[in-house]
Structure 1
């Protein structure tokens, strides 16, 4: 139902030919794209998925991005729970760990926007 709504707007905007909608587990879809020979060709990717899978998705998307490509990652502040040392659960810890990893990753230029649940912008350097 949601995809039908989205597809109407893609058509209206004249961009439906640029969108490849895939409904499947994210890691499988990303692996198929990499195996299909499109690594290094993407300009932009947006990640908003299960939090414990973020690092795997990030690595796969990084392979798909061209140098100078941008990866946007949603929910990196997790309604402020990531910044609250009193909060400790699997999802929050997964995001904290992921944020630390990104901070130390020299393959990207990093910016975390404190909007809503937090949005990370990772620009692939090389």
Structure 2
């Protein structure tokens, strides 16, 4: 099966991200629970929670007619996607590896989330 439409690519990414968030959440709850410290498990769960929440945002943004009509909404989508990668990704790796320097990446992901929300608000304001 060939993926023919780039218009559906954002929806594909949203679905992959949502799937990964649920899978990683289950992995943390069932496998890592007996391996990680409570602090590390909490860090992992935070990454999973933020990924799942923002995966739903990606889904909503990608299925609406506004996605193709608004550059601000498309830009906010990519900031949310980058936030998932940087914020959640760094927390997953930090929790599992214990490499503290990765904590420096997490705020960049948080800034991406904040930028995504700000851009989404700007799009709403512009199209009121």
TM-score normalised by structure 2 residue count: 0.25
Q: Is the helix fraction higher in 1 or 2? A: 2
TM-score normalised by structure 1 residue count: 0.25
